[in-house]
């Protein structure tokens, strides 16, 4: 089937532009690299491939291979004192639940006995201070050089929101971002930390690439919703980390399905299993699904992540399972 699909695509595009053809449960995802976007050709490929027996859905994704900025050996990695392993929680797209996932995974890892730090690197929308209740609080420095990490229910935390002025335009924040992130990471007294979870800025721009190269990352977790658009961005996210040799620990499907708070019935609002399919196609682990549930949002807003607020809920169980998988793959 894959050869057949490749032959069809090759009639419209240069074979060297075909990056990947993935087939999973009747779903076909064709990834083209550095190809000129062409709506007519896309339609034609979708129609021809879609007519093949057993194919239920076809998506054509255009990706651009940026030459990975090469890390010169003399460029040093950022030294984050006391921190053993760093996990990035990233998404190609904003608003998919990266911060909610970061916070809950941090507490889930802590429940599994790890000493955990949560670093908020999201210069565009630092939300960890609100979620952990240190919004608007300046970090303490005893020596005028280093900051004390905030501590909340057993985990250490620090946010770029404490250094970067959110009232400034995005471009300004972006240009200052890497320096500010490095400073905050290296100048914070974290204590002894087994795992640091980093809530990354959404997207795959220069800041994200620099962070992925400069931080000694043990791996990245990609958060996506099941919608096609989010999944396409998730693919871009996976590819970015692969290009800078950061292992992909897996994909989490957030807002996987809706649970009615009244009757408990379930609805697949954004479709279902999209992230699972994408993970299979990309050959990266699928870590689990988190439903869209009002308690997840309400507890996050109230300053206590659901993993702490409702320890026996199925949602906490879902986060705990993902955290256990992460620990396993970090070994
Ligand atoms: N599984 C879920 N169930 C219910 N609400 C959720 C869930 N995940 C996230 N939310 C809510 O959706 C909104 C966006 O989530 P969040 O802030 O975690 O996304 P994000 O990817 O970090 O966004 P941004 O790109 O703006 O940083 C928040 O109000 C959050 O409470
Ligand atoms: Mg966020």
For 217-231, letters b (16+ CB in 10 Å) and e give bbbbbbbbbbbbebb
Verify whether ligand 1 is closer than 6 Å to residue 300 (CB atom).
yes
* pLDDT computed for residue 77 by the predictor: 87
Which tens digits make up the pLDDT trace of 63-81?
877 655 555 555 678 999 9
Verify whether ligand 1 is closer than 6 Å to residue 156 (CB atom).
no
Verify whether ligand 1 is closer than 6 Å to residue 95 (CB atom).
yes
DSSP 205: S
Distance from residue 255's CA to the centre of ligand 1 (Å): 9
Residue 162 reports pLDDT greater than 90: no
Distance from residue 183's CA to the centre of ligand 1 (Å): 27
Which tens digits make up the pLDDT trace of 44-65?
999 999 999 999 989 898 887 7
Evaluate whether 40 touches 10 at the Cβ level (below 8 Å). no
* pLDDT computed for residue 264 by the predictor: 81
What integer is the mean pLDDT of 274-280? 91
Distance from residue 121's CA to the centre of ligand 2 (Å): 9
If we measure between CA atoms, which residue out of 164, 93, 92 comes closest to residue 128? Answer: 164
Which tens digits make up the pLDDT trace of 202-260?
999 888 999 999 999 999 999 999 988 888 889 999 999 998 899 999 999 999 888 88
Verify whether ligand 1 is closer than 6 Å to residue 292 (CB atom).
yes
Measured CA to CA, the distance from residue 222 to residue 203 in angstroms comes to: 11
Measured CA to CA, the distance from residue 240 to residue 227 in angstroms comes to: 20
* pLDDT computed for residue 69 by the predictor: 57
Centre a 10 Å sphere on the Cβ of residue 247 and count the other Cβ atoms it contains: 14
Report the SS3 class of residue 302: coil
What structural domains does the chain harbor?
A: 2-63 (3.30.300.130), 83-330 (3.40.50.300)
Q: What is the position in ligand 1's atom list of the atom closest to the CA of 100?
A: 18
What integer is the mean pLDDT of 178-203? 94
CB neighbour class for 57 (10 Å; exposed up to 12, middle 13-18, buried from 19):
middle
Q: Which band of pLDDT confidence, cut at 50, 70 and 90, is reported for residue 173?
A: low
Average confidence score pLDDT of the chain: 90
* pLDDT computed for residue 111 by the predictor: 97
CB neighbour class for 63 (10 Å; exposed up to 12, middle 13-18, buried from 19):
middle
Q: Which band of pLDDT confidence, cut at 50, 70 and 90, is reported for residue 176?
A: confident
Q: For ligand 1, atom 3, which residue shows the shortest CA distance?
A: 292
Give the tokens for residue 54.
């057993």
Q: Which of 38-42, 81-85, 168-172, 259-263 comes out lowest in average pLDDT?
A: 168-172
Distance from residue 168's CA to the centre of ligand 2 (Å): 18
Measured CA to CA, the distance from residue 311 to residue 255 in angstroms comes to: 19
Q: What is the position in ligand 1's atom list of the atom closest to the CA of 91?
A: 21
Which tens digits make up the pLDDT trace of 129-155?
999 989 889 899 999 899 999 999 999
* pLDDT computed for residue 72 by the predictor: 54
Verify whether ligand 1 is closer than 6 Å to residue 290 (CB atom).
yes
Verify whether ligand 1 is closer than 6 Å to residue 293 (CB atom).
yes
Which tens digits make up the pLDDT trace of 278-287?
999 889 999 9
CB neighbour class for 319 (10 Å; exposed up to 12, middle 13-18, buried from 19):
buried
Verify whether ligand 1 is closer than 6 Å to residue 99 (CB atom).
yes
Evaluate whether 120 touches 199 at the Cβ level (below 8 Å). yes
Q: For ligand 1, atom 5, which residue shows the shortest CA distance?
A: 297
If we measure between CA atoms, which residue out of 116, 121, 122, 156 comes closest to residue 139? Answer: 156
Verify whether ligand 1 is closer than 6 Å to residue 91 (CB atom).
yes
What are the C-alpha distances in Å from 194 to residues 82, 118, 271, 276, 307?
8, 11, 36, 29, 19
């Amino acid at each position: 089937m894959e050869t057949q699909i490749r032959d069809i695509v090759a009639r419209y595009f240069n074979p060297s532009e075909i990056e990947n053809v993935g087939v999973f449960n009747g779903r076909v995802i064709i990834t083209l690299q550095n190809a000129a976007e062409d709506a007519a050709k896309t339609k034609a490929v979708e129609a021809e491939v879609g007519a093949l027996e057993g194919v239920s859905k076809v998506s054509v994704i255009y990706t651009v291979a940026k030459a990975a900025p090469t890390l010169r050996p003399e460029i040093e990695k950022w030294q984050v004192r006391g921190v053993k392993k760093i996990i990035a929680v990233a998404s190609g797209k904003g608003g998919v639940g990266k911060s909610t996932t970061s916070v809950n995974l941090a507490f889930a890892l802590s429940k599994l006995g790890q000493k955990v730090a949560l670093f908020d690197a999201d210069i565009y929308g630092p939300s960890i201070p609100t979620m952990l209740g240190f919004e608007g609080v300046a970090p303490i420095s005893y020596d005028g050089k280093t900051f004390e990490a905030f501590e909340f229910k057993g985990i250490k935390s620090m946010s770029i929101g404490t250094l970067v002025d959110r009232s400034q335009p995005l471009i300004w924040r972006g240009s200052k971002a890497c320096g500010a992130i490095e400073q905050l990471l290296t100048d914070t007294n974290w204590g002894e930390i087994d795992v640091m979870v980093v809530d990354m800025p959404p997207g795959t721009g220069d800041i994200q690439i620099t962070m992925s190269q400069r931080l000694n990352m043990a791996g990245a977790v990609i958060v996506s919703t099941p919608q096609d658009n989010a999944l396409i961005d998730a693919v871009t996210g996976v590819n970015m980390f692969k290009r800078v040799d950061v292992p992909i620990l897996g994909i989490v499907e957030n807002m996987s399905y809706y649970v009615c708070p009244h009757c408990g019935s379930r609805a697949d609002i954004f479709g279902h299993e999209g992230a699972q399919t994408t993970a299979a196609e990309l050959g990266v682990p699928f870590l689990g699904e988190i439903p869209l549930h009002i308690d997840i949002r309400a507890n996050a807003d109230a300053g206590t992540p659901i993993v702490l607020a409702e320890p026996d809920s199925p949602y906490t169980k879902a986060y705990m399972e993902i955290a256990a998988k992460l620990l396993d793959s970090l070994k």
